[in-house]
Amino acid sequence: MGICKTLITHLIIILAFSAIGCIEKEPTNNFVPNHTDYDPVEGLPDSLHAFLKYKTGTIAFTNATLIDGTGGNLKVNQTVVVNNGVFEAIGSDSSITIPENTKVINLKGKTMIPGIIGMHNHLHIPGFPFVGDIASKLYLASGVTTIQTAGAAIPHLEVDLSKRITAGKQIGPEIITSAPFITGKGGNPNMIIPKNEEHLRDTLQHWIKQGVNWIKVYRNTHPNDLEIIIDEAHKNNVKVRGHLCSITFEEATKMGIDGIEHGLNSASDFRTNKEFGLCSGGREYIDQLDLNSPKVKKLQQLMIYNQVFLTSTLSIYEASVPNRAYADQRTQNMMSPYLLNQYTERRVRFNQIKDDLTREKRLKQIMQFEYQFFKMGGLLCSGVDAGRHVLPGFGDQRNFELFIEAGFSTEEAIQVMTGNGAKALGREDIGIIKAGRRADFVILDGDLRVDPSTIEKVETVFKKGIGYDPQKILSDINGSFGL
Ligand SMILES: [Zn+2]
């Protein structure tokens, strides 16, 4: 693709994104961050030093209530030793010898979890094609230490931000980048709509060379195009995920897709009057569907057998349920006057709806579909899919509370949000708290198992062994998200 064409594509993408809602995508391979080195704090501009609480070195945490991200039982009275950005030793307080001259931090009454891996965590929101600078701070302050952006509106800005964060020039999570969304005829005009096979393969090659790690296909993608996309991506060691509609979960799974978004809400397998290759039919299927039926279980088994992961985005769905769609005070504090005004107007409309049992029931069905998939052995991940009043990071935390509501145990919910994300990304250096892994973790002020809202009480976020102060980061953002 020539420079002119690329510029035009960017322009079209920017224009289109002011009109559409949620979009998503996937990672690819060129720019692979070095997972073993830690943030060069000394390279951090002076203005960012204010956000640091602990600067690398060796630290021993004692008396921790630990959830390690594997799904294993919560453990109390744990000692965790971090050295040079990596977990060095983990065990009961009595079993770990703390090296001399080590800084010791007593975590009595606090919970330690792995850094959250946001698997559907855009750097854009409806109307704003790139909010990466502030979104990345919101993610980090909320305990999200790695994101896969699940589709990009302006991919080169994502790649650039990802590199700046890795180089320590900016604070934020590790960003695993995506190409522009790809869709098909009748789809969002701001996305790439392939003209023919050559155009499609050229476009993918272009973005893979720019350094994106994942490809995201959107709702109107033609089945023939998805086959080409998967072929071209996999040849280049890049993965593919889809917010599907024209293609069913079963079809995409059989073609070899790596991940599927949004769970039951996008499962056109069950749509009434679904036509092959078209995004047709309605969503009433969600209300009627018997989740215990053989057709549902067979589909979930097929995905599990083919190792297709499913990404849950409960918090953004909840934002469309009128009697649940409230922004809490801290969220309102972060929003720009423009976003706050949008929220207020939406609430006025929602307040006129006495109750919407249909949407509430759909949320419960979506939850149950995911819980069942997880319990059957499926690789369930989670992401925020930020939008409306569901903010980057805050919405990831809300997902945890919704998983608990759906019936997941505390340990299972954390596993979905951390260890499972690492598995889906094919990463063995992050996601769980284990000796040798990168020291990405979160200290929560309280007992997470007793009170799920403890997920919002982030005391310190550690990424590569460096501790960040969430309060300082958030007070810096105050009122500027969505300016
Ligand atoms: Zn999305």
Mean pLDDT along residues 119-145: 97
pLDDT at site 102: 92
pLDDT of residue 41: 62
Average pLDDT over residues 411-429: 98
Residue 131 tokens, joined = 């909010």
Supply the pTM of this predicted model. 0.91
Distance CA 346, CA 327 (A): 11
Q: Which residues contact 440 (CB under 8 A, 6 or more apart)?
A: 114, 115, 145, 146, 430, 462, 463, 464
Q: How far apart are CA 244 and CA 251, in angstroms?
A: 10
> Percent of the chain beyond pLDDT 90?
83
Which residues have their alpha-adjacent CB atom under 5 A from ion ligand 1?
22, 24, 385
- pLDDT given at position 25: 34
Provide mean pLDDT across the span 107-133: 97
**C-alpha 316 – ligand 1 centre gap (Å):** 9
Q: How far apart are CA 119 and CA 412, in angstroms?
A: 16
Separation of 106 CA from ligand 1 center, angstroms? 39
474 C-alpha to ligand 1 centroid (Å): 24
Dump pLDDT digits (tens) for 386-405: 998 999 999 999 999 999 99
Going by pLDDT thresholds of 50, 70 and 90, the confidence category of residue 145 is very high
Whether the per-residue pLDDT at 4 is higher than 60: the answer is no
Q: Buried (b) or exposed (e) across 426-436, using 16+ Cβ within 10 A?
A: ebeebbbbeee
Alpha helices in 352-393 (DSSP H): 357-375
Q: Would you tell me how many other CB atoms lie within 10 Å of the CB of residue 306?
A: 14
pLDDT tens, position by position, 368-379: 999 999 999 999
Strands 75-83 vs 58-66: parallel, antiparallel or unpaired: antiparallel
Indicate the range of 8-12, 222-226, 330-334, 347-351 predicted with least confidence. Answer: 8-12
Query: Percentage of the chain with pLDDT > 70?
Result: 91
Centre of ligand 1 to C-alpha 131, Å, is 14
Stretch (H or E) spanning 75: strand 75-83
Across residues 114-118, what is the average pLDDT?
Answer: 98
Could you give the 3-state DSSP secondary structure of residue 455? helix
pLDDT score at 100: 87
The pLDDT, as a whole number, for residue 436 is: 97
How far is the first Cα of the chain from the last one, in angstroms, to the nearest whole number? 33
In tens, the pLDDT along 182-203 reads: 999 988 888 999 999 999 999 9
Q: Please give the structure tokens belonging to residue 261.
A: 């978004």
Q: What single-letter amino acid sits at 334?
A: M
pLDDT for 47: 73
Mean pLDDT of 446-463: 98
> Ligand 1 center to residue 34 CA distance, Å?
27
The pLDDT tens digits for 235-255 are 999 999 999 999 999 999 999
Burial annotation 42-79 (CB, 10 A radius, 16+ → b, else e): eebeeebeebbebebebbbbbbbbbbbbbbeebeeebb
Q: Which pLDDT belongs to residue 16? A: 42
Predicted confidence at residue 77, as pLDDT, reads: 98
Segments in 289-429 forming alpha helices (H): 294-305, 314-318, 329-334, 337-351, 357-375, 394-406, 410-417, 419-425
Mean pLDDT, rounded, for 176-180: 96
Domains of the chain, CATH where assigned = 3-38+115-429 (3.20.20.140)
* Distance from residue 310's CA to the centre of ligand 1 (Å): 13
Q: How far is the CA of 243 from the centre of ligand 1 (A)?
A: 8
**Region of poorest pLDDT, from 24-33, 122-131, 203-212, 375-384:** 24-33
Mean pLDDT for 24-38 is 37
Mean pLDDT across the chain: 91
Distance in Å, CA 163 to ligand 1 centroid? 22
pLDDT at 125 > cutoff 80 = yes
User: From the CA of 448, how far away is ligand 1's center (Å)?
Assistant: 28
349 CA to centre of ligand 1 in angstroms: 24
Chain centre distance of CA 131: 15
Pairwise CA distance, residues 353 & 137, whole Å: 35
Q: How confident is the model at residue 42 (pLDDT cuts 50, 70, 90)?
A: low
Q: How far is the CA of 392 from the centre of ligand 1 (A)?
A: 12
Confidence label for 34 from pLDDT (cuts 50, 70 and 90):
very low
Instruction: Compute the distance from residue 346 Cα to the ligand 1 centre, in Å.
Output: 20
Asked if residue 54 has pLDDT above 50, the reply is yes
Q: Is the pLDDT of residue 48 over 90?
A: no
Distance 37 CA to ligand 1 centre (A): 30
φ, ψ of residue 114 to 5 degrees: the values are: -65, 160
Distances (CA, A) of 235 to 27, 41, 173, 214, 458: 14, 37, 28, 13, 41
Output the CA 165–ligand 1 centroid distance in Å: 22
Ligand 1 centroid to residue 54 C-alpha, Å: 34
